[in-house]
């Protein structure tokens, strides 16, 4: 296997090295535009995410062969998020990931919220992609309740994205997890398709087999927030779904099932009636009411206080309390994914805590995503205990919950170095390796040497990619994006950067969702000659080894 990895890296470097043959003294048919500035790729540090950092290095080499100067800036996750998410006009490209989350088993979030133009200013469309044709398809799939017709629309959306390349899709990782089976009963560890064993059902149901009753897991990411109105693509989201209940949950089978809602029924195609469970309480002891639930779905629509969640509630036109356990929701139009993309996503929050907070925030420039709620009061199966920044988060089992965890505490250790995480698994400082971004072969060898360690591998719903800032030239030119994207051989990337533990990708929909996945988007023709041809067709020219804009093109941004 190690020989395979070395061979694929050599093959990758050989393929991209071919771009260096571009003649430095090209005979021009017309005068070239100005030279393109130096390009920056933002990435996590090599120690924190060696796979993505290696991918960035390989991408940079391919682009340099096209006449670009490329700098990789490896930074901690909070700094990368600040640059990319909150300063949307200031960056060129970034390594990024969309993690596998249960509600992404329906492709609506990946198709609509990542790319619809209305979510570009402050929502998920952080790359600023704007294509009216795509918008129309993304809107149509939301209201199409016939599965086969919706499938055709989802596939059409994938094909538009494959042509426009707002992202350079890289891989759907094969996530490798490990746990100590002398601490946790293997029969209680749930493998959820597209998520692996790091999922809600494992955390609620994992059963201790001895005296150790604390699950001690790891993250290679620093946390941005523990906030029910902030959506994170990484570790933060594991925590919020444990503290705050939702009306529905995505079950181990990938389908939505009642959770805080004991039951539901569609009165008609735009009217939904939900009945709450008996006896639910917030962690401060106050009862969970129908009014709280209505408030939870109204909160994201209050001004721009929760822009990440707002798209998921915009289709709700009215909510009505029927009785002390029942509420009715009325939708503007039919929604094929409503149970998954809205009811399984919105966190239930107490009105007695968040009502005054949101009213106060309406008069201030910051929004609810940045607010730090000291107590972090939910109604979920775990209670918030403590967060030591850059160290650990501690949650305690909520013994009063109808689905109380079997463990005593859920302890998340922030371990930014993958080698350190492996050492902690060996020593017993961790008993559940939930976030591993290093060489999977090393983890496999560790398990072979230690029979107490169980390894589980699973292809992710999520994906790794390089994001182009579609707002900024030259990345606002789809032809330029295609050239840079197709310069990188996908068939070699998974071996060269992910050591063969990944599936090459050219779609935001994972092949683990076969009904929705469009297999027409792969394979794609890649390599230096493909990139050169696309650049030439777009009018770009290489002069003395440096890539220039088409004739008349000017560099409007400072490097």
What span, in angstroms and rounded, lies between the C-alpha atoms of 313 and 94?
29
Instruction: Calculate ∠ Cα 226-227-232, nearest 5°.
Output: 75
| H or E segment and range at residue 539 | none
User: Are the C-beta atoms of residues 83 and 461 closer than 8 Å to each other?
Assistant: no
Identify the three-state secondary structure at position 12.
helix
The reported pTM is: 0.79
Domains delineated in the chain: 2-172+461-548 (3.10.105), 175-232+381-458 (3.40.190.10), 248-358 (3.90.76.10)
pLDDT at 477 over 80: yes
How many residues in the chain? 559
pLDDT at residue number 438? 83
pLDDT in tens, 379-397: 999 999 999 988 999 999 9
pLDDT at 1 over 70: no
Cβ-count burial of 483 within 10 angstroms (0-12 exposed, 13-18 middle, 19+ buried)?
buried
pLDDT at residue number 500? 86
Cβ-count burial of 3 within 10 angstroms (0-12 exposed, 13-18 middle, 19+ buried)?
exposed
Report how far apart the first and last C-alpha atoms of the chain are (Å, whole number): 41
Residue 221 per-residue DSSP state: S
What span, in angstroms and rounded, lies between the C-alpha atoms of 251 and 260?
13
pLDDT in tens, 404-452: 999 999 999 999 998 999 999 999 999 999 999 888 888 989 999 999 9
For the ranges 3-7, 207-211, 296-300, 331-335, the lowest mean pLDDT is seen at 3-7
The band of 8, judged by pLDDT with boundaries at 50, 70 and 90, is: low
Q: Across 389-482, where does the E strand assignment appear?
A: 392-397, 409-414, 432-433, 453-459, 463-468
439 contacts: CB under 8 Å, gap ≥ 6: 50, 499
Task: Tell me the two tokens of residue 58.
Answer: 């390989």
pLDDT in tens, 247-288: 999 999 888 999 999 999 999 999 999 999 999 999 999 999
Antiparallel, parallel or unpaired: β 167-180 and 502-504: antiparallel
Q: Across 245-388, where does the E strand assignment appear?
A: 248-250, 256-258, 261-268, 271-276, 316-323, 326-331, 382-388
Closest CA to 52 of 438, 490, 372: 438
pLDDT at 27 over 50: no
Mean pLDDT over each residue of the chain, to the nearest integer: 91
pLDDT at 4 over 70: no
Residue 255 per-residue DSSP state: S
pLDDT in tens, 132-172: 999 999 999 999 989 999 999 999 999 999 999 999 999 99
116 contacts: CB under 8 Å, gap ≥ 6: 125, 134, 135, 138, 139, 311
Task: Tell me the two tokens of residue 400.
Answer: 């009063």
Q: Per-residue b/e over 345-361, b at no fewer than 16 CB within 10 Å?
A: bbbbbbbebbbeebeeb
Share of the chain above pLDDT 90, in %: 75
Residue 331 per-residue DSSP state: E
């Amino acid at each position: 296997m190690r020989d395979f990895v070395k061979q694929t890296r050599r093959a990758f470097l050989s393929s991209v090295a071919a771009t260096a043959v571009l003649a430095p003294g090209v005979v021009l048919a017309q005068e070239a535009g100005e030279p393109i500035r130096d390009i920056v790729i933002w990435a996590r540090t090599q120690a924190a995410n060696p796979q993505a950092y290696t991918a960035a290095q390989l991408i940079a080499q391919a682009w340099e062969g096209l006449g670009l100067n490329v700098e990789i800036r490896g930074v901690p996750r909070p700094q990368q998020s600040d640059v990319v998410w909150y300063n949307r006009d200031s960056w060129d490209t970034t390594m990024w990931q969309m993690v596998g989350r249960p509600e992404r088993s329906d492709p609506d979030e990946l198709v609509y919220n990542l790319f619809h133009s209305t979510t570009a200013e402050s929502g998920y469309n952080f790359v600023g992609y704007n294509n009216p044709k795509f918008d129309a398809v993304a809107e149509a799939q939301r209201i199409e309740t016939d599965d086969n017709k919706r499938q055709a629309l989802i596939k059409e959306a994938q094909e538009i994205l494959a042509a426009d390349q707002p992202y350079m899709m890289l891989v759907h990782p094969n996530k490798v997890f490990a746990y100590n089976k002398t601490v946790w009963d293997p029969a209680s560890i749930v493998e959820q398709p597209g998520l692996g064993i790091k999922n809600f059902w494992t955390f609620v149901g994992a059963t201790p087999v001895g005296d150790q009753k604390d699950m001690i897991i790891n993250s290679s990411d620093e946390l941005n927030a523990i906030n029910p109105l902030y959506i994170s693509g990484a570790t933060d989201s594991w925590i919020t779904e444990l503290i705050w209940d939702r009306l529905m949950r995505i079950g181990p089978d990938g389908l939505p099932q009642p959770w805080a809602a004991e039951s539901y029924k569609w009165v008609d195609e735009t009217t939904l009636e939900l009945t709450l469970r008996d006896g639910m309480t917030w962690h401060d002891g106050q009862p969970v009411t129908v009014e709280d639930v209505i408030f939870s779905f109204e909160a994201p629509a209050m001004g721009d206080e929760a822009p990440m969640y707002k798209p998921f509630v915009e289709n709700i036109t009215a909510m009505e309390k029927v009785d002390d356990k029942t509420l009715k929701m009325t939708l503007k139009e039919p929604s094929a994914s409503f149970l998954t993309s809205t009811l399984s996503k919105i966190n239930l929050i107490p009105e007695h805590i968040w009502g005054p907070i949101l009213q106060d925030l309406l008069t201030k420039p910051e929004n609810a995503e940045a607010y730090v709620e000291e107590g972090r009061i939910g109604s979920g199966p775990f209670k918030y205990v403590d967060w030591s920044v850059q160290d650990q988060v501690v949650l305690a089992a909520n013994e009063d919950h109808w689905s109380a965890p079997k463990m005593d505490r859920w302890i998340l250790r922030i371990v930014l170095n993958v080698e350190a995480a492996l050492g902690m698994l060996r020593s017993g400082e961790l008993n559940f390796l939930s976030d591993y971004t290093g060489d999977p072969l090393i983890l496999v060898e560790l398990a072979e040497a230690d029979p107490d360690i169980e390894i589980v591998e699973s292809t992710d719903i999520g994906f790794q990619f390089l994001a182009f800032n579609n707002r900024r030239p030259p990345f606002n030119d789809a032809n330029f994006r295609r050239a840079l994207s197709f310069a990188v051989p996908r068939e070699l990337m998974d071996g060269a950067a992910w050591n063969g533990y990944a599936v090459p990708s050219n779609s935001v929909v994972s092949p683990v969702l076969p009904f929705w996945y469009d297999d027409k988007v792969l394979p794609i023709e890649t390599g230096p000659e493909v990139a050169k041809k696309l650049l030439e067709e777009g009018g770009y020219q290489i002069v003395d080894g440096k890539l220039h804009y088409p004739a008349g093109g000017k560099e409007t941004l400072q490097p």
